[in-house]
Amino acid sequence: MNSLNILIVDDDRFVVSALEQKINWTSLGIQQIYTAYNIRQAKKIFEETTIHILLSDIEMPQGSGLELLAWIRSEGFNVQAIYLTNFADFNYAQKAIELQSFDYYLKPIEFDKLEFIIKKAVNKVKLSQIKENAIKVGQYWQHNKEELVEHFWHNYLENNDTLAREEIQEQLRIKNINYSLNDCFLPLLLDFFPYKLIDNKGIISIFDKENNFHNKLKSIMMETFKNDSIRLDGVLKSSTTKDEYLAIFKLTDNAFEASSRDLISSCNQLIATINNQLKCDVQCSIGTSNPLNKIQAAVKALQVARKETIDFRNTIFCFETYNTNVNNYVEPNLQLLEHRLEDGNRLSFINKCYQYLTNLLDKNALSHHVLCCFRIDMTQLIYTHLKKKEILANKLFQGKISDLLLEQSSRSIDDLMIYISYLVDVSLDYMEFTNSQKSVVNTIRDYIDQNYQENITRTSLAQIVYLSPDYIARFFKKETGISLVNYIIKKRVDIAKDLLTNTNLPIHSISDKVGYENYSYFTKLFKKETNYTPIEFRKMVYSKSETS
């Protein structure tokens, strides 16, 4: 039990001293006695330490004890207040009762009677502390219980081996979880789509901004399903992907069969709330209710069915309606789509892809396999079109953005359309850029001018502008009248001439600075361009400066 502190407040110092000395505080369980002679001093003590019992006069020059108690209540301090007064005034007593004072004692003080009143106040404080501790223990146990339950579900469902009934019962016993094997549970799979493409140049994720996503999701789900005949017993994060969560509901009545209509209605509400509060798209996949020893297999079947079933974001999939028929891929009119690309008609190309997918969905002919086959065809179509323009598609689409969009593209119709739109937009935009050969030439020139000291080759330049090495070599010479190799040599020699003229650097250092590690080779190229060796050039410059 925590030690107790008392504060005595009275403007009469003799009264304060008498109370300190004539009451056996130790026997009452009071460890520390604080004193104050006005309200200002009393407030300061309350702000600096914990006070359990207040023993105060009412009438004081700098403010009454009732004003002090009103302030104590407004600040939220939990204190048992005993008043001492010379006045048997009903208004005082009434006000003290309104402020929930513990007792009201008329002076003169009879210390044995006052000690009895204080003892009752001490007992009330101790009882209050016991209740507070019980609440804290209950809250801790409830929180710990939720963690134990979720830990049980995580271990049970992530186990690759099917657990025997005895093994399940042993796990329940160890964790002290009140489940029976006959209890029925319902799995609900939540697939989140947290990524957003920004102007084809960057991707943001709601998970990067949301620090407490798991707890907020659990809170939303508890509120959404509070009126259903099911109880949320766990929200588990997938161990393989951060985009997937699994909710486990316990049927509160085993005779109850979860109504599909009610569940779908609640899931629609859940989707709307997640869209609004978490700013994220989601798909809900409703499993079937099963007893505890069969729920592991039911969850795995739901996960497989969900992966094979393709739909839009923010939709609901019911395992009961799962179609196990194998859908064969029938390719779209690739020639028509190719013409749309050649015409640069990106909107028409995207619309044709969208119509193809939605038609399959309406016919229940769209599966994960069909979606992936279509994605391969569209990717090859776009890559082939780029190759005709001598653009290196594998270089144009390398990087985190393309990799993530490709990874996400098989999850929904929306995600595949985002990926295809990205490929088309980037491709056609870059073709417009390459059609203006001056823009490409300027890009190459700028790169050479800034990186002349590096090992620059046609291949490395091709990777910068995503074009084939032969192609950039041809049009660079066509636009500038000089070959790439000779442009690089000329740039390096010009820089070397400047360094020879304006610095005292050794020639071998200048050779390194302009990208030639081989001093002899540098000398040979320099003489070919200027008719002088580097040494001769420097002497000539010095000679001219001396004569001038």
User: Is the N-terminal amide bond of 506 cis, ω within 30° of 0?
Assistant: no
Give yes or no for residue 99 having a pLDDT over 60: no
Give yes or no for residue 548 having a pLDDT over 80: no
Tokens (6 digits) for 292 = 């505890």
Distance CA 42, CA 32 (A): 15
Distance CA 220, CA 197 (A): 26
Q: How confident is the model at residue 96 (pLDDT cuts 50, 70, 90)?
A: low
Tokens (6 digits) for 201 = 């140049």
Q: How confident is the model at residue 207 (pLDDT cuts 50, 70, 90)?
A: confident
Q: Which residue has the higher pLDDT, 226 or 87?
A: 226
Strand partners, 82: 55, 103
Residues 349-384 pLDDT 10s = 999 999 999 999 999 999 999 999 999 999 999 999
Contacts 24+ apart (CB under 8 A), 462-471: 462/392, 462/395, 463/392, 463/395, 465/434, 465/440, 466/391, 466/392, 466/393, 466/395, 466/396, 466/430, 467/390, 467/391, 467/392, 467/434, 467/440, 468/390, 468/391, 468/392, 470/390, 471/390
Distance CA 157, CA 298 (A): 10
Question: So what's the pLDDT on residue 177?
Answer: 86
Contacts of 485 (CB under 8 A, 6+ apart): none
Residue type at 247 in one-letter notation: A
In 3D space, the residue among 361, 501, 456, 499 whose CA is nearest the CA of residue 417 turns out to be: 361
Distance CA 152, CA 145 (A): 10
Give yes or no for residue 538 having a pLDDT over 60: yes
CA angle 458, 452, 485 (to 5 degrees): 40
What's CA 411's distance to the chain center, in Å?
Answer: 20
Question: So what's the pLDDT on residue 381?
Answer: 95
Give mean pLDDT, residues 523-531.
92
Q: How many CA atoms lie within 13 A of 510 on its CB side?
A: 24
Q: Are 516 and 453 in contact (CB under 8 A)?
A: no
Cα-based distances in Å from 190 to 263, 287, 314, 403: 14, 11, 10, 23
Cα-based distances in Å from 275 to 21, 220, 261, 283: 67, 11, 21, 11
In 3D space, the residue among 148, 241, 228, 218 whose CA is nearest the CA of residue 186 turns out to be: 228
Distance CA 155, CA 6 (A): 52
Range in 3-12, 154-163, 313-322 with the lowest mean pLDDT = 154-163
What's CA 65's distance to the chain center, in Å?
Answer: 52
Give yes or no for residue 477 having a pLDDT over 80: yes
DSSP of 121-165: HHHHHHHHHHHHHHHHHHHHHHHHHHHHHHHHHHHHHH-SSPPPH
Question: So what's the pLDDT on residue 273?
Answer: 95
Give mean pLDDT, residues 465-492.
86
Give mean pLDDT, residues 322-343.
89
Angle between helices 65-75 and 39-48 (to 10 degrees): 30
Question: So what's the pLDDT on residue 104?
Answer: 61
- Determine how many CB atoms are found less than 10 A away from the CB of residue 478: 10
- Buried b / exposed e over 315-343, threshold 16 CB at 10 Å, is bbbbbeebeeeebeeeebeeeebeebbee
